[in-house]
Chains A and B, each alone.
Chain A
Amino acid sequence: MQPVKYKRATSVAEAVSLLQGGGEFARPLAGGTDVIVQARERRRDIDLFVDIKHIPELMAISHDANGVTIGAAVPLHLVYGDAKIVSQWPAVTEAAHVIGGTAIQGRATLGGNLCNSSPAADSIPAMMVLDAVAHIAGPNGKRDVSVREFCTAPGRNVLALGEFVVSISLPKPPAGSGGAWQRFIPRNEMDIAVVNAGVWVQLDGANVTDARFALGAVAPTPIMVPAAAEALIGKPLSDATIAAAGDAAKAAAKPIDDMRGSVKQRKHLAKVLTERTLRHAIERARGQA
């Protein structure tokens, strides 16, 4: 391992102070499944890890009337091990359940998945459509940023020097709504998304009153697809409106060719996954799944 120092923070204020003192090469250490590997392989220049797992609020899951707040260092196995999160925000737990394998999920976190800011991050499109908010602490105090606004480029995000994500909130879903998440990989498990999709819909009978669509691995950051929502909102559900949402997703996808897939395949997948995930979200909104 390259020379990396390690410090353990026991409060948010101490973590901010350590990160600020460490400067641009300091990183928070939650599950470490990305940052430790990046330090070792020198894919990120890191010379201080500030371990944030000994800060109580970083490790807490708290439910209240408004929804749930998940500490940024809570490992994924505890996220999908929380029955209330599974029942109310299944789109997030569907993603959490397939990020790496069991040993990764014992350590990896939603906060880390967000801050790693990969275009293909599995949990981010799910959190985006669920209106998730990242609670950030830093030298200038606290601020909240919508997960939709968090990533700015591959591996980059809105965090400034000395800032880190303390927790992520998911608002309570309204009655008659449903969310879902799916990804495509060429094997059953343990792979990075060729494309992934998050969808949330709210229904009033057969009419869609609200909808949100997000895609991953089709642009430099995970993206929202407002055109897909526009194709659906205020209209009755039908194969035609569902296909229109899929077509909008295909049009919005601006992917690259790489080892995981071609532009053509990814655009095709954006449509197929959007439609499938939408159908699943509709079933959930109707209480059928």
Chain B
Amino acid sequence: MSNRVKTDRIVITAKINGDERTFLADERDSLLEALRERIGLTGAKEGCNNGNCGACAVLLNGVLVNSCCVMAAEIEGAELTTVEGLAGPEGLHPLQQAFLEEAALQCGICTPGFLMASKALLDENPHPTEHDARFWLAGNLCRCTGYDKIIRAVLKAADQMGSNGR
């Protein structure tokens, strides 16, 4: 198959979790591969590697994307938020806290993707209904929880963030 071309090492500069970072990657790397293998951000997980499971979800310029379906080279000059960027200096993000309190994870593989997808939901719609949350999170698969606890956690975080004015 395609061994006709030789890919190059490339230098990528992007704002990742608030910090301007410059790193070396391969032209053929997906964003997920670059995050995990080039810069050690292993929060995003490889589940299906084809856009079905959402375990690798990150925010690219504020938009939820599956990092397995983005080429690393595409993020040159972009702003990226991964699950590592969710907690602030004051502690866990309300979504992370709510996931713990509601036991919204078991094995935890899907959790970074759910957290990022939930963050994107609350950024766009701070007061989602249960239906809104279920529809929005349909692209994230969880094999453990049965989803109900995740939905409870997201709605709880939305309530708390609303009342805190965050």
Residues of chain A having any CB pair with chain B under 8 Å: 1-6, 8, 25, 29, 31-33, 36-37, 40-42, 45-49, 51, 53, 75, 77, 100-104, 106-107, 188-190
Contact = CB atoms under 8 A, between A and B. Distances in A.
A47 B4 contact: yes
19 contacts: A4-B27, A5-B27, A6-B74, A25-B2, A32-B70, A36-B30, A37-B50, A37-B68, A45-B1, A75-B63, A77-B63, A101-B54, A101-B137, A101-B139, A102-B120, A103-B54, A104-B66, A106-B65, A107-B63
Interface in B66-84: 66, 68-71, 73-74, 76
Q: Closest 10 CB pairs between A and B?
A: A101-B139, A189-B138, A6-B73, A106-B63, A47-B5, A1-B28, A37-B50, A103-B66, A47-B2, A103-B64
Contacts of A188: 138
Contact of B7 (A4, A51, A53, A77): A4
A161 to B, nearest CB: 16
Contacts of A6: 10, 27-28, 71, 73-74
A102 B117 contact: yes
Interface in B41-62: 49-52, 54, 57, 60
A217 to B, nearest CB: 19
A104 B7 contact: no
Nearest to B141: A190
A201 to B, nearest CB: 29
Interface of B: 1-8, 10, 27-30, 33, 49-52, 54, 57, 60, 63-66, 68-71, 73-74, 76, 117, 120-121, 135-140
A106 B4 CA distance: 32
Contact of A2 (B1, B50, B66, B136): B1
Contacts, number: 117
A102 B52 CA distance: 11
Contact of B2 (A32, A45, A51, A101): A45
A77 B52 CA distance: 17
Contacts of B1: 2, 42, 45
B49 to A, nearest CB: 7
A102 B57 CA distance: 10
User: Which of A2, A6, A42, A190 counts the most B-chain CB atoms under 10 A from its CB?
Assistant: A6
Given A37-B69, A101-B54, A48 B120 contact: no
Contact of B70 (A5, A107, A189): A107
Nearest to B121: A102
Given A4-B2, A4-B7, A37-B68, 9 more contacts: A3-B4, A3-B28, A5-B7, A25-B4, A32-B69, A101-B137, A102-B139, A189-B135, A189-B138
A107 B2 contact: no
B139 A100 contact: yes
A256 B99 CA distance: 44
B73 A101 contact: no
A75 B60 CA distance: 13
Contacts of B10: 6
Contacts of B29: 1
Contact of A190 (B5, B7, B30, B138): B138
A31 B68 CA distance: 12
Contact of A107 (B69, B117, B135, B137): B69
Given A3-B3, A3-B5, A102-B64, A41 B138 contact: no
A94 B76 CA distance: 33
Contacts of B139: 100-104, 190
Contacts of A32: 69-71, 74
